[in-house]
Amino acid sequence: MLNKVVIVGGGTAGWMTASYLKAAFGERIQITLVESGNVGTVGVGEATFSDIRHFFEFLGLKEKDWMPACNATYKLAVRFENWREKDHYFYHPFEQMRSVNGFPLTDWWLHQSPTERFDKDCFVMASVIDAGRSPRMLDGTLIDQPFDEGADEMQGLTMSEHQGKTQFPYAYHFEAALLAKYLTKYAVDRGVKHIVDDVKQVNLDDRGWISGVTTAEHGDLTGDVFIDCTGFRGLLLNKALEEPFISYADTLPNDSAVALQVPMDMEKRGIRPCTTATAQDAGWIWTIPLMGRVGTGYVYAKDYLSPEDAERTLREFVGPAAADVEANHIKMRIGRSRNSWVKNCVAIGLSSGFVEPLESTGIFFIHHAIEQLAKNFPGEDWNPTHRDLYNKAIGNVMDGVREFLVLHYVAAKRTDNQYWRDTKTRAIPDALAERIETWKTQLPDSETVFPYYHGLPPYSYMCILLGMGGIDLKPSRALALCDGSAAEREFSEIREKTRRLTEVLPPAYEYFAQHH
């Protein structure tokens, strides 16, 4: 039986993989994780997808177990600021789109335009976030109880099997470096062997498969399956096995980031329970509220901006609180490995691929990859079908997310400098260009978005198209022939629910002050 797994790399990807495989296979699998004490990990203060809760559920962890250890807070949406024009903002929330008489509510919104704010008219969450509320009451009750019951029924499904069945109302912000630390204990307690050492060499057998890795002080580590979690280096997959990396630079040119972790008195500042992406002259700045600090950074294209200017802009954006904080400049490798599983090596995390964190997809990619690996775990015959299914799923997720991110730039109304003008003339994937033409007459639905699972449902596309404001959209012509009173009632119900929730839900900070 193939049961000896060697994981190289102890960042979020390495420890999430070790923990999940132990939870899935228990004593029947032997895992050794080796991480360098000299090469650091990426950890900037991360935001996630709401599906990440399935990862914690799978491990048997409750929020109270891990959230305080990771300075975690709730994320109810991404808030996009200044992508349309200065001082404009909108939310892309974790809230499924309602339908009225077979048409999505956004379609009715285009037809009736109750106000100028599609997000506030169509979703409850937008106003809940503006009011800085927690999605849970102080006693822990969730705003919509059925979500919790639904979650129990869904346990054991992968994210792709789960999509579309429910939409959990929030995700998390946390420090990925602290999550890796927390999971180190989880995994080691369950039998994962942990070695801190540098891998100096990757050894191949006659077939070109990995037979072991040579470390500086612990000799050779041998195994059946090798998992490359070495980050942007791709030490096993890209370097040793020479698997090519497919760059997305032609369509997503942002290749650099400068990050700051800014200590803050969150009681004074308050917590806005969302990730904010504020458009800038050559990219955008993320703001992620954590307990005790704010994670922030400027994602930019170095063809348009120097690292010094990016850091200066970021410091001005944050203000005096960042004065003594050291900046972390990161060069991002944007794209994906052609195949993430080659021979007996599977790359997970940044070694597999990465896109700019505009929709918080880095840890989602990791979670998805781990689920797919557990599902397709190889047997002794190394049946290539498992590998091929895995590679297809990973490639589809990343290519789908790429399309979605490109859409943000194409749809953004801003054209006030060369960077933003170029977003309108740069090549985009052919299929996306066709889809955008379709969406001008019919809003995205499950038949017209990227056709394979990539974590983003059609309503996410609607939010970006409606919020970014650069593409003219029309309501379905059929709506002119329909009775619109049911839609009017729906808009009014949303207003009423919003009013009630913003009254009863506690401020987000107050919730965490009590629960952390």
Burial class of residue 492 in the structure, from the number of CB atoms within 10 Å of its CB (0-12 exposed, 13-18 middle, 19+ buried) = exposed
10 binds ligand FAD (CB under 6 A): yes
Structure tokens at 458: 């059609």
Q: What is the H or E stretch that residue 393 is in?
A: helix 384-411
70 binds ligand FAD (CB under 6 A): no
Name the β-bridge partners of 285.
Answer: 278, 298
> For the window 119-158, what string marks contact with ligand FAD as x by the rule CB under 6 A?
----------------------------------------
385 is in an annotated binding site: no
176 binds ligand FAD (CB under 6 A): yes
Minimum distance of ligand FAD from residue 492's CB (angstroms): 36
Backbone angles phi, psi at 313, to 5 degrees: -60, -40
Distance of alpha carbon 36 from alpha carbon 197, whole angstroms:
5
Site size toward ligand FAD (CB under 6 A) is 37
180 is in an annotated binding site: no
106 binds ligand FAD (CB under 6 A): no
11 is in an annotated binding site: yes
12 is in an annotated binding site: yes
11 binds ligand FAD (CB under 6 A): yes
**Which stretch, 134-142, 183-191, 224-232, 389-397, contacts ligand FAD (CB under 6 A)?**
224-232
233 binds ligand FAD (CB under 6 A): yes
350 binds ligand FAD (CB under 6 A): yes
Minimum distance of ligand FAD from residue 356's CB (angstroms): 8
Q: Taking CB under 6 A as the criterion, which residues in 363-382 touch ligand FAD? A: 363
Minimum distance of ligand FAD from residue 462's CB (angstroms): 23
353 binds ligand FAD (CB under 6 A): no
Distance of alpha carbon 218 from alpha carbon 239, whole angstroms:
22
47 binds ligand FAD (CB under 6 A): yes
Q: What is the H or E stretch that residue 24 is in?
A: helix 12-25
Which residue from 360, 349, 296, 356 is spatially nearest to 51, judged by alpha carbons? Answer: 360
Q: Taking CB under 6 A as the criterion, which residues in 288-317 touch ligand FAD? A: 297
Judged by beta carbon, residue 21 or residue 505, the one nearer ligand FAD is: 21
13 is in an annotated binding site: yes
Which residues are part of the catalytic machinery?
A: 75
Judged by beta carbon, residue 41 or residue 261, the one nearer ligand FAD is: 41
Distance of alpha carbon 410 from alpha carbon 407, whole angstroms:
5
Contact at 8 Å (CB) between 173 and 47?
yes
Contact at 8 Å (CB) between 43 and 180?
yes
Distance of alpha carbon 12 from alpha carbon 163, whole angstroms:
24
Residue 360 CB-half CA count within 13 A: 29
Judged by beta carbon, residue 13 or residue 405, the one nearer ligand FAD is: 13
Q: What is the H or E stretch that residue 91 is in?
A: strand 89-93
Angle formed by the axes of helices 176-189 and 12-25, to 10°?
Answer: 30
Judged by beta carbon, residue 128 or residue 199, the one nearer ligand FAD is: 199
Minimum distance of ligand FAD from residue 477's CB (angstroms): 40
The single residue listed with the structure tokens 């015959």 is 381
Tell me how crowded residue 33 is: count the other CB atoms within 10 A of its CB.
25
Residue selected from 104, 132, 135, 231 as contacting ligand FAD according to rule CB under 6 A:
231
Q: Taking CB under 6 A as the criterion, which residues in 25-44 touch ligand FAD? A: 34-36, 39, 41-44
Distance of alpha carbon 76 from alpha carbon 457, whole angstroms:
16
Pinpoint the alpha helices (H) of 26-158: 52-59, 63-66, 105-112, 118-122, 125-130, 145-154
Name the β-bridge partners of 212.
Answer: 203, 222
Minimum distance of ligand FAD from residue 255's CB (angstroms): 11
Judged by beta carbon, residue 12 or residue 339, the one nearer ligand FAD is: 12
Looking at residue 42, its amino acid is: V
Judged by beta carbon, residue 233 or residue 338, the one nearer ligand FAD is: 233
Minimum distance of ligand FAD from residue 111's CB (angstroms): 35
319 is in an annotated binding site: no
What's the Cα-to-Cα distance from 16 to each of 44, 92, 185, 274, 396, rounded to whole Å? 17, 27, 12, 24, 21
Distance of alpha carbon 5 from alpha carbon 342, whole angstroms:
15
61 is in an annotated binding site: no
Residue selected from 257, 305, 393, 462 as contacting ligand FAD according to rule CB under 6 A:
257
Structure tokens at 509: 């900070």
> For the window 191-220, what string marks contact with ligand FAD as x by the rule CB under 6 A?
-------xx---------------------
Q: Which residues contribute to the site for ligand FAD (CB under 6 A)?
A: 8-14, 34-36, 39, 41-44, 46-48, 176, 198-199, 229-231, 233, 235, 257, 259, 297, 330, 332, 349-350, 357, 360, 362-363
Binding residues for FAD: 10-13, 199, 350, 363
